[in-house]
Amino acid sequence: MKVGIIGGGAVGLLTAVNLTKGGHQVTVYVRREEQKHEINKGGVSLVPDYKNFPVRALLLEELRKEDIIMIAVKQYHLSDILPRLQSYLNIPLIFLQNGMGHLELLSPLKDSHQMLLGVLEYGALKHDDYTVEQTGKGICRIASLSELSATSNQTIHKLATSSYPINLEEDWYHMLAQKLVVNAVINPLTALFQVKNESLLENEHLLWLAEKLCQEACEVLGLSSGKSWEIVKRIVYQTKENYSSMCKDIEAGRRTEIEAISGYILKKTQCDLVYTSFAYRSIKALEMNAGGLKDD
């Protein structure tokens, strides 16, 4: 099956490799000529063994007919991408963004397009323009945002292989909200204390704070706090060796995704979410102490 992946970042490259492993013919659509060239020279290389996978690269403006398109750009680049997808009425479009802020952007298209949302449990780490690493374990969860045709349904089912296990979820809101809770717990705490994910399980005080953050996020997003807490702990365990993206952003003095994560939760309620506020303010304080913020 021909799969197009828009975005040559960590998630785009890792998804390209995992789908290529599964026998799909993958094209990554990138912004820069240089990255296109590097990938076409030798494919995408997967850490730790640096085995190369035959992924093709094209520029975004060269977007062609694909059986399925996955959109793996950051949330704030989505508005540039959406106009290019206008004519793709009948093929599944899978959006792989963090947070929930992109739902408003996608909503006007959901009656006309075959749209799905995906979230990854594991992390992806880009080493250079054609080298990527999967950090932690887990699957990709996918839920449809719009009513899918029978053909689209079949296409989605063909996407899954042992190299790219997929769970199809009934309820996209629940799926995204659940992922947001996980991020709202793991990211600010690991960033504030500059620790690996596993510290949240091993340090009783961090575990205590993690549970408080989980409870507050669940309250706002309408999830069961007990169930979500079990899920958070499972994800932390599956990614215990990871440094979260926010932890690395703070270490590198980069802007974090705190606004899209804890900031989003705080905006969704009139209640005083004190633990979430403390975490949010802490990350903002660290960003501010780092001085001028670089986007990545």
Does 53 contact a second copy by CB under 8 A?
no
Q: Among 288, 291, 292, 295, which residue sits at the site for a second copy (rule: CB under 8 A)?
A: 288
Query: Number of residues in contact with a second copy, rule: CB under 8 A?
Result: 22
Q: Among 100, 209, 214, 232, which residue sits at the site for a second copy (rule: CB under 8 A)?
A: 209
Catalytic residue selected from 36, 126, 179, 233? 179
36 a catalytic residue: no
Q: Which of these ranges, 16-24, 61-69, 78-86, 284-292, lies near a second copy under the rule CB under 8 A?
A: 284-292
- Residues in 139-198 that interact with a second copy by CB under 8 A: 192-193, 195
Reduce the secondary structure of the chain to three states and give it as a string.
Answer: CEEEEECCCHHHHHHHHHHHHCCCEEEEEECCHHHHHHHHHHCEEEECCCEEECCEEEEHHHCCCCCEEEECCCHHHHHHHHHHHCCCCCCEEEECCCCCCCHHHHHHHCCCCEEEEEEECCEEEEEECCEEEEECCCCEEEEECCCCCHHHHHHHHHHCECCECEEEECCHHHHHHHHHHHHHHHHHHHHHHCCCCCHHHHCHHHHHHHHHHHHHHHHHHCCCHHHHHHHHHHHHHHCCCCCCHHHHHHHCCECCCCHHHHHHHHHCCCCCCHHHHHHHHHHHHHHHHCCCCECC
Q: Which of these ranges, 58-66, 107-115, 208-216, 247-255, lies near a second copy under the rule CB under 8 A?
A: 208-216
Q: Among 155, 197, 199, 239, which residue sits at the site for a second copy (rule: CB under 8 A)?
A: 199
Catalytic residue numbers, as ranges: 179
Contacts with a second copy, residue ranges (CB under 8 A): 192-193, 195, 199, 203-206, 208-209, 212, 274-275, 278-279, 281-282, 284-286, 288-289
